[in-house]
Structure 1
Amino acid sequence: MEICVRTGDTLSYLSELFNVPLYLIMESNSNINPTEMKPAEKVRLPGYVSVPYTIKEADTFEKIAKIRGVEVDSLLLLNQTKTPEKLAIGEKIYVPEKVTVPFAPVKTPLDSKRLTKLINNLTRVYPFIETANVGTSVLGSPIQEIRIGKGEKKIHMNASFHANEWITTMVLMSVLNQYLLSLINNYSIRGRNAAAIYECLSLSIVPMVNPDGVDLVLNGPPAHLRKEVIEINEGSDDFIHWKANIRGIDLNNQFPANWDICRENKKPKAPAPRDFPGDEPLTEPEAVTMANLAKKIQFDLLLAFHTQGEEFYWGYEGLEPAESEQLAQELEKVSGYQAVRYVNSHAGYKDWFIQEFKRPGFTIELGKGINPLPLSQYPDILKRAVEIFETVITY
């Protein structure tokens, strides 16, 4: 919500008036000098939206404020062109409304366009979020990163490396949404103050690594590629189980961590709906984007959300640091998922991250069944994902 300040207004006063942490207001308005604000200067207020209200008979600002649970001065601030003593029936004013529930979807899968719309809505309501297009897919769709906080501890999380695991994007966006609500309302997270967590944490989220693949599974092929992808899909126009990117290359088999062993072990030797690692590592723009992001930011810890198995993998070739085991034990306890140190798998993003940086990396296999998992599992998956997320950011 955007407001225009009046003479004498300060960010501290706005924080008190709207019950929003001052540091989040300051983070949302980094272009403003808080000691030299000018009348009519615009300030973005996180955690609020303005909703229209039509004046009824006998309405006053005091009455409206009481009914809506807001301060009278918040109405005056939001409706500076109105004269409170001369409100006319049918006249429209605006009322500030605090966002108190997540608005990430829980019943509708997110394709790349719906994800972009959701990210834009989150950025509008929580303007302390930073977003960036860190790369593009084969078809030119943006690979979007969301950043929250500027603390020293750098944690990265991603979802939908695999197309038919699109539920992971929904889960990660919902987990993020709950975190934002905790910040705005100054809730505690696992016994720690949300502001203290924000201060020490830099959180990076890529909610959809494989937008072309997700769109293919959810919406079918683009017209100009229909013949090619049906051919890769062994003549079928049913793409529900497709894992790869739009070129038939498995993005989580694309990284230079014993890639040659992965190539030898995988059955597909040509583009396929799943498991083909390509002709060389890092040939696909989506994989290159994720490798470049890790090299640029130098994350301290990585979580890659996948499905399915109700387990997670935390080691690679003995290169994982000692702290990985400690965190794995804690994640196993809070989630109920089985901690698995080693699997006969190579060339994954987590594998490469551990090999490259010798830092903790985890592949989280949410839920159990056949991909794509049904939305009926979503509540249980989300509950466990929240436990994992909160444990990691407070560890």
Structure 2
Amino acid sequence: MSRQKFEYSPAQLAADVRKLTRSYPFVTASPIGRSVLGKPIHAIRIGAGSFNWHFNGACHANEWITSLLLMRFADDYAKACRGRTQIGGKQARDLYNRTTLWIVPMVNPDGVELVQQGVTPKHPYYKELMVWNRGSNLFHRWKANIRGVDLNDQFPACWEEERGRRGVERPGPRDYGGSGPLTEPEAIALAEWTERSDLHAVLAVHTQGEEIYWNYRGHEPSESAEWAKRLALASGYRSVWLEGSDAGYKDWFIDKFRRPGFTVEAGWGHNPLPLEGMEETYDDVMKLLAEALDLSPS
């Protein structure tokens, strides 16, 4: 996969998914669902092990760089598996044999496209989006999906408390959790796929802050704190005990399954993070993700 110099779009992602599966026959991909506007939400599978890991990115539209981080990791991991070399100091084939990794690199493709391209009067949500964005045609701060719903406030883990805390009552660029939990097709697809997949641990990549969140209301399993410390040591990020936050994917996964879940805030700066810092950010994230795969039981 070539090193990206421009914004990473849903179209580029689709092309890279096809290239990845053609280049490495042991890598497979299929959609887990579709967005409001019908774009596929791709899932990539790498591995033959019994421990099911899941990484996802671009839940928030202006955090599209997380899709690029995950796709570079997928490519580097597949290459290391084929060449029987290391990734992040770990033997890739050992990780492959112990784990099955599912990557959903872009949960919110409509939102990503909005941030990168804006809208014209021909867009099906043009009038609504201009109202929700206070008349501005600058969408670089937009985190929500195309209907103005923040997908990481959509999950049924104390959803009502999070909505009250946010205090946002209508669609907009961020923090509106919808009229109820799981109203948006992107969140529904991710939740239903998660329930079908018997995942043993999940990790959602966001930006920014160089922090790792691992707990949720005391429902996290006992190993989560130690796993977070290992991820922090591998990446140079901080392991953080987080309170006062609900309705996220990681929160819901921990609450429902009582298995390890993590949110990683990659990089440092203002969203969307510039590509100029991509190499340093990727180096940290690559080591963190390789360490995550190594956490699975032997």
**1:331 is paired with a residue of what secondary structure?**
helix
Contact 2:53–2:102 (CA<8 Å) still a contact in 1? Answer: yes
Counterpart residue number, 1:144: 42
Q: Distance in 2 between matches of 1:246 and 1:174?
A: 26
Letter in 1 for 2:92: A
Question: Is the CA contact 1:155–1:301 (under 8 Å) kept in the aligned structure 2?
Answer: yes
Which residue of structure 1 lines up, in the alignment, with residue 73 of structure 2? 175
Match of 2:205 in 1: 305
**Partner residue of 2:245?**
345
- Residue 113, structure 1, aligned to residue 32, structure 2: no
1-side partners of 2:253 and 2:2: how far apart? 29
Equivalent positions of 1:55-204 (< 5 A) are 103-189=1-87, 192-204=90-102
Is 1:284–2:198 an aligned residue pair?
no
User: 1:241-256 maps to which residues of 2 (within 5 A)?
Assistant: 241-256=141-156
Alignment of structure 1 residues 202-221 onto 2, 5 Å: 202-221=100-119
Larger Rg: 1
8 Å CA contact retained: 1:305, 1:363? yes
Q: What amino acid sits opposite 2:10 in the alignment?
A: S
TM-score normalised by L of structure 2: 0.95
State the alpha-carbon separation in 1 of the partners of residues 198 and 61 from structure 2: 26
1:226 aligned residue: 126
**Closer, same or farther in 2 for the Cα pair 1:160/1:191, shift >3 Å?**
closer
Q: RCO greater where, 1 or 2, for CA within 8 Å and sep 6 or more? A: 2
Residue-pair matches, total: 293
Match of 2:223 in 1: 323
Structure 1 counterpart of 2:111, one-letter code: G
Q: Provide the C-alpha distance between the structure 1 equivalents of 2:35 and 2:87, rounded to a whole number of angstroms.
A: 35
Mapped to 1, the partners of 2:63 and 2:150 lie a distance apart of 12
Mapped to 1, the partners of 2:86 and 2:139 lie a distance apart of: 43
Inter-partner Cα distance in structure 2 for 1:120 and 1:309 = 32
Deviation at 1:201, TM superposition (A): 1.1
- Can you list the C-alpha shifts for 1:159-188, whole angstroms capped at 9, x where unaligned? 000000001011111111110111111003
Indicate conservation of the 8 Å contact 1:190/1:394, yes or no.
no
1:267-294, Cα deviation, whole Å (9 max, x unpaired): 3210011000001000000000110111
> Is 2:274 the partner of 1:374?
yes
Which secondary structure does the structure 2 equivalent of 1:128 belong to?
coil
> Does the CA contact (< 8 Å) of 2:63 and 2:206 recur in 1?
yes
Distance 1:378 1:190, change over 3 A: closer
Q: Does 1:239 align with 2:116?
A: no
Determine helix, strand or coil for the equivalent of 1:345: coil
Residue identity opposite 2:151 in structure 1:
L
Q: Per-residue deviation at 1:191?
A: 5.6
Distance in 1 between residues matched to 2:262 and 2:226, nearest whole Å = 12
1 CA distance for matches of 2:108 and 2:88?
A: 32
Query: Partner residue of 1:264?
Result: 164
Deviation at 1:104, TM superposition (A): 4.4
TM-fit CA distance, 1:190: 5.6
Q: Does 1:335 align with 2:235?
A: yes
Q: CA deviation at 1:107?
A: 1.4
Gaps of 5+ in 1: 1-102
Separation in structure 2 between the aligned mates of residue 311 and residue 202 of structure 1, nearest angstrom:
25
Task: Please state how far the C-alpha of 1:369 moved relative to its aligned partner.
Answer: 1.5
State the alpha-carbon separation in 2 of the partners of residues 376 and 188 from structure 1. Answer: 26
Runs (4+) of structure 1 exceeding 6 A deviation are none
